[in-house]
Amino acid sequence: MTEVAKKVDTVKLTIDGIEVEAAKGELVIRVAERIGIAIPRFCDHPLLDPAGACRQCLVDIEGQRKPSAACTQTVADGMVVRTQLTSEVAKKAQEGILEFLLINHPLDCPMCDKGGECPLQNQALSNGREESRFHEHKREYTKPVPISSQVLLDRERCVLCQRCTRFSDEIAGDKFIDLMERGADEQIGVFSGRLDVDPAEVVGETGLEGAIDANLLDAPFNSYFSGNTVQICPVGALTGAQYRFRARPFDLVSSPSTCEHCAAGCSMRTDHRRGKVMRRLAGDDPQVNEEWNCDKGRWAFQYATAFDRITEPMVRDPKSGELRKASWPEALNAAAEGLLKARTEGGVGVLTGGRLTVEDAYAYAKFARVVLGTNDIDFRSRPLSQEETDFLTSVAGKFQVTYSDIEAAPDVVLVGLEAEEECPILFLRLRKAANKRGTRVTSIAPFVTRGLEKVAGTLVPTVPGAEATALAESAEVRAALSKPGALLFVGERLAETPGGLSAAARLAAETGARLAWVPRRAGDRGAVEAGCLPTLLPGGRSLVEPAARGEIGAAWGLEVGDLSERPGRDTLQILDAARTGALKGLVVAGVDPHDLPDPAAAEEALEKVGFLVSLELRLSAVSRRADVVLPVAPAVEKSGSYLDWEGRVRPFDAVLRSAAMTDARVLDALARQLGYQLGTADTLAVLKQIGELGETRAPRAAAPTVDAERVAEPGTGEAVLSTWHQLIDLGALQDGDEYLAGTARPPVARISKATAAALGVADGEPLNVSTERGRVTLPAAVVDVMAPGVVWLPTNSPGSTVRRTLGVSSGATVRISAGGTS
Amino acid sequence: MGQFIGTLKGFGVTFSHMFKKVVTEEYPEKRVPLAPRYHGRHILNRHPDGLEKCIGCELCAWACPADAIYVEGADNTDEERYSPGERYASTYQINYARCIFCGLCIEACPTRSLTMSNEYELARDSRQDLIFTKEQLLAPLLSGMEQPPHAMYLGDSEKDYYLSGPTNPGSSAGAEKNPAHRIADRDGKVAQ
């Protein structure tokens, strides 16, 4: 060890006759745990503040008149602690508490979802009395009460440990649930503005589904992190509607996995039974997601078993013009022939989307360069710019910031990033840093979001498109970033602002702050590192550097000059070229045209391109137009790894065994058909190839220097559009999860007070936002602090599909008017 | 001489058996009554109004040392109710290729839904037919019972069903004669 351990004040105490050294301020229950003594507990959770609510952890401490709760008692020098193992007093006290807790507990274990993995069940057996002395009537409540469409509350089972309310308050900041009533009537509940309505009564009348449909709760438990309360509930009081009565712990097989949704890289546990995923839980990874995850990661997994899942290859029948099922050899043959023809006639472009594992992304990058002989490859299926391409080329291979750096940072600046919606675990870490370490968060955004409120952040009100100017000119931001350890987070949306990424890179260089790029999808960072960009080769190697090309050429066994040095086209240019016929073929992976800045143009390109190969999981807008469709495996059926926003490798194994193949394996077969050896047939082989590439010695590309543009002033009846995705929306990976969809934030159009007054629109009244393409009408939400002349819409929520309907993205000028008229 | 006596002795044994009680059983023409608690094929009992006693808790599957039971639970709704309370078994299977008739499952059953009958004629000519489904295992509808799904007729809550539990053990008698238990072969012919 080269690092000198920090000197910590320690004390010596005795637990059950064992002398142990502990840091000052440590809790007795933790010290006991460390030496292998398990004290029963319900309310205690290592990541929550001590509460001492359940009293189950009573121990006998010498010199104390009564038994004390080990979960709130800090250690002291010379303390002598006796637990239930050596003290009759402690044992009797714990048995007494358990008896009290069980007085009102319904003992409906056979039908309770927690049965078999229930701390109350386990500890009643290990630390409780054998016989119950309570024969009177137990307290009865209607069960269960939905406190959101996803979370069900059974108050009879609750032991009032307050883990859920403490989590919501301390960790998530969503104080939607709390203790209500007093004394024996004390219970967990949601806030209801309608005091005349008891949710339980509605459940009694209309049943569970009816109560969910009636949406009678004014403030349901619609937290993005509500699933964690279900996981940490030590009894079955909080259960998830999706997993209700689906399985028992003993017949579930638990496999460690990694979340495939966003770039947070959460470690997870996937529980499956007979080849079907039953539920997913947050995994324990202190470096990344601690023990939490978001509801999307937990509950959005049924897309993989959707009705339109493709399991067999398809080719377009030349006679009927329809897709028909085909054998693998036939489909590969057809794809190979078509691609060969397209390659010689004009070239083939590759669009990979941001959902791939590193291994799959690498296979696409290699396939494009080696087999198709082109650099026309791009992973971005969203608004982008040449500046972003250059920026990503300059940051590839650089991993500067980690989750733990956030906690050490004095100041964090967010630009083009709404962490709670776009990277929820990053938001949780920001909130932890802000609450526990006093990290100050500054956001360059048009208005104060709920996420920013919850981290007690300050806003630099900025009209979309003016982020570059704000970065360059805001003294506040510069001062914040000048502190040692300060961090600058840029979201992928900053690409929509000309000069934004240049300004961020410049400011980081000038102030010494460390820069982190936070994309929205799990595969984005991996695709950058794997070289799925027109200017980038695997391992952060810039295409224009001869040394970098030399390294890759040698690794791939290519002749000098085989690797094209001409930078390729980006996603939008590829689609343009496909539309005009400059590109004769396309290979497309998980891309939804509706995510692109101009979905209509993208669909036209997919229609017009000469030859289209689609590697897809489900029948999509791309595969419906494809000439050959090759099925690939969903994340749950393959192994691989993602890179999270930190650049940390998040490997995972296949959870379910299936015949489905990874993209890399399909590409390997396709390459073989064309006479090339990719060597990407199995995940380990790809990892080996990537590992053998090693670090590059070639010079890195410099950050772009694009000047900021002036933002157009909106005229009367106009506004500048600001938009981003809400966490729970119409995303294809959330298909089929209705319970989850019910907890989404209601789509609203946000406008400032001044704008609202000028239009004569009050809060909640419909507001029209329109372009030449179409119109979105949503209830207006008037925001107190907001940059002037801005309207915000959710990008892809019910009733607000901005790119599809309006055909624009952030920074565009749109017309706004009071609802009803256009 | 010795040979002659030996022969007589031998025939003596043969003749003596002509007057002894026969141990051979004339199965299947005549069926011997079994001990009342013989571990035979399982029955899924019903409440007196026909609702299923099984709540789909899977404790039987958990207790099973041979991994012969498979259960999937589901939610009762007021429109579609199979058992009193919140939960019922949407799938219930016992694989008699695996079952060892130990009876741990019926000990584990919290509602006395699962009991064992005396039926032992379980030979089938395919493994698939040895997997008995819920329809085959459910007790027949006796008089006064109605085929679920239907509402709770015995009270407003499931407690009304369980408070009278011990006096209402359900019935497994007659299960063997349930036409649902006859197994149709591949041609659709029903065999006994």
Return the residue matching tokens 């970065």.
A471
Name the pLDDT band for A192 (thresholds 50, 70, 90): low
Question: B67-71: which pairs have CB atoms within 8 A and are 24 or more residues apart?
Answer: B67/B98, B68/B94, B68/B95, B68/B96, B68/B97, B68/B98, B68/B99, B68/B100, B69/B93, B69/B94, B69/B95, B69/B105, B70/B95
Name the pLDDT band for A299 (thresholds 50, 70, 90): very high
Q: For residue A109, give how far its alpha carbon lies from the nearest alpha carbon of chain B (Å).
A: 9
Q: Which of A82, A112, A87, A101 is nearest to A42 (CA)?
A: A101
Q: A442 pLDDT exceeds 50?
A: yes
Q: A405 pLDDT exceeds 60?
A: yes
Q: Look at residue A221 in the predicted model and tell me its pLDDT.
A: 86
Q: Determine the average pLDDT of the residues in A45-61.
A: 95
Which of A17-26, A211-220, B30-39 holds the top average pLDDT?
A17-26
CATH number of A145-303: 3.30.70.20
Inter-residue contact A271 to A636 (CB < 8 Å): no
Distance (Å) of CA A100 to CA A107, A132, A254: 13, 10, 34
- Name B150's Cβ contacts closer than 8 Å, sequence gap at least 6: B49, B50, B51, B81
Q: Identify the helix (H) or strand (E) that includes residue B43.
A: strand B42-44
Interface probe, candidates B53, B69, B70, B75, chain A, greatest A C-beta count within 10 A: B75
Full 3-state SS string of A409-426: CCEEEEECCCHHHHCHHH
Return the residue matching tokens 């956001």.
A443
- Tokens linked to A183: 């004394």
In sign, the C-alpha dihedral spanning B132, B138, B139, B141 is negative
Q: A822 pLDDT exceeds 50?
A: no
Name the pLDDT band for A209 (thresholds 50, 70, 90): low
Selecting from B62, B78, B87 the residue whose C-beta is nearest the C-beta of A245 gives: B87
Q: Look at residue A132 in the predicted model and tell me its pLDDT.
A: 85
Q: Look at residue B81 in the predicted model and tell me its pLDDT.
A: 95
- Tokens linked to A277: 């995923």
Phi, psi of A782 (to 5 degrees): -85, 125
Q: Which residue has the higher pLDDT, A797 or A217?
A: A797
Which of A230-239, A546-555, B139-148 holds the top average pLDDT?
A230-239
In sign, the C-alpha dihedral spanning A678, A682, A685, A690 is positive
pLDDT in tens, A633-645: 999 999 999 999 9
Name the pLDDT band for A700 (thresholds 50, 70, 90): confident
Instruction: DSSP for A676-688, please give it.
Output: -----SSHHHHHH
Q: Determine the average pLDDT of the residues in A549-570.
A: 89
Q: CATH for A718-818, among 2.60.40.1730, 3.40.50.620, 2.40.40.20, 2.40.30.10?
A: 2.40.40.20
Query: What is the helix, strand, coil percentage profile of chain A, to 5?
Result: 35, 20, 45
Report DSSP state, residue A818: E
Detail the DSSP E strand segments found in A392-476: 411-415, 440-445, 458-461
Q: B188 pLDDT exceeds 50?
A: no
Interface probe, candidates B54, B60, B67, B72, chain A, greatest A C-beta count within 10 A: B72
Name the pLDDT band for B171 (thresholds 50, 70, 90): very low
- Tokens linked to A790: 């801005």
Interface probe, candidates A108, A111, A156, A273, chain B, greatest B C-beta count within 10 A: A111
Between CA B58 and CA B91 the distance in angstroms is 11
Q: A732 pLDDT exceeds 50?
A: yes
Cis-peptide into B28, omega within 30 deg: yes
Name the pLDDT band for A205 (thresholds 50, 70, 90): low
- Residues of chain A with a CB closer than 8 angstroms to some CB in chain B: 110-111, 115-116, 143-144, 207-209, 244-248, 250-251
- State what percent of residues in chain B have pLDDT above 90: 58
Distance (Å) of CA A725 to CA A148, A368, A371, A731, A751: 21, 30, 36, 9, 17
- Tokens linked to A528: 């950058």
Q: Look at residue A218 in the predicted model and tell me its pLDDT.
A: 57
Q: Look at residue A206 in the predicted model and tell me its pLDDT.
A: 53
Q: Look at residue A189 in the predicted model and tell me its pLDDT.
A: 86
CATH number of B42-181: 3.30.70.3270
**B55:A244 CB<8 A:** no
Between CA A401 and CA A515 the distance in angstroms is 7
Distance of CA A773 to the CA centre of its chain: 31
What is the pTM for the complete model shown?
A: 0.91
- Tokens linked to A283: 């995994």
**A244:B58 CB<8 A:** no
State the average pLDDT for chain A: 92
Inter-residue contact A22 to A10 (CB < 8 Å): yes
The letter for the amino acid at A604 is E
Number of other CB atoms surrounding residue A69 within 10 Å:
25
pLDDT in tens, B5-49: 999 999 999 999 999 998 888 888 888 888 888 999 999 999 988
Topology of A3-103 in CATH?
Answer: Ubiquitin-like (UB roll) (3.10.20)
Q: For residue B153, give how far its alpha carbon lies from the nearest alpha carbon of chain A (Å).
A: 17
From chain A, the residues in CB contact with B62 under 8 A are: 116, 248, 250-251
Domain boundaries, chain A: 3-103, 145-303, 347-382+525-693, 397-518, 718-818
- State what percent of residues in chain B have pLDDT above 70: 85
Q: Determine the average pLDDT of the residues in A513-531.
A: 95
**B110:A246 CB<8 A:** no
Between CA A585 and CA A582 the distance in angstroms is 9
Q: A518 pLDDT exceeds 60?
A: yes
How many residues are recorded in chain A? 822
**Pairing of the two strands B42-44 and A790-794:** unpaired
Q: Determine the average pLDDT of the residues in A87-111.
A: 93
Name the pLDDT band for A216 (thresholds 50, 70, 90): very low
**Distance from the first to the final alpha carbon of chain A:** 70
Q: A217 pLDDT exceeds 60?
A: no
pLDDT in tens, B43-80: 999 998 899 999 999 999 999 999 999 999 999 988 99
Q: Which residue has the higher pLDDT, A62 or A1?
A: A62
Cis-peptide into A599, omega within 30 deg: no
Topology of A397-518 in CATH?
Answer: Dimethylsulfoxide Reductase; domain 2 (3.40.228)
Name the pLDDT band for A360 (thresholds 50, 70, 90): very high
Domain boundaries, chain B: 42-181
Phi, psi of A387 (to 5 degrees): -60, -40
pLDDT in tens, A773-803: 999 999 999 998 999 999 999 999 999 999 9
Phi, psi of A786 (to 5 degrees): -155, 145
Three-state secondary-structure class, residue A115:
coil
Inter-residue contact A630 to A660 (CB < 8 Å): no
The architecture that CATH gives domain A347-382+525-693 is 3-Layer(aba) Sandwich (3.40)
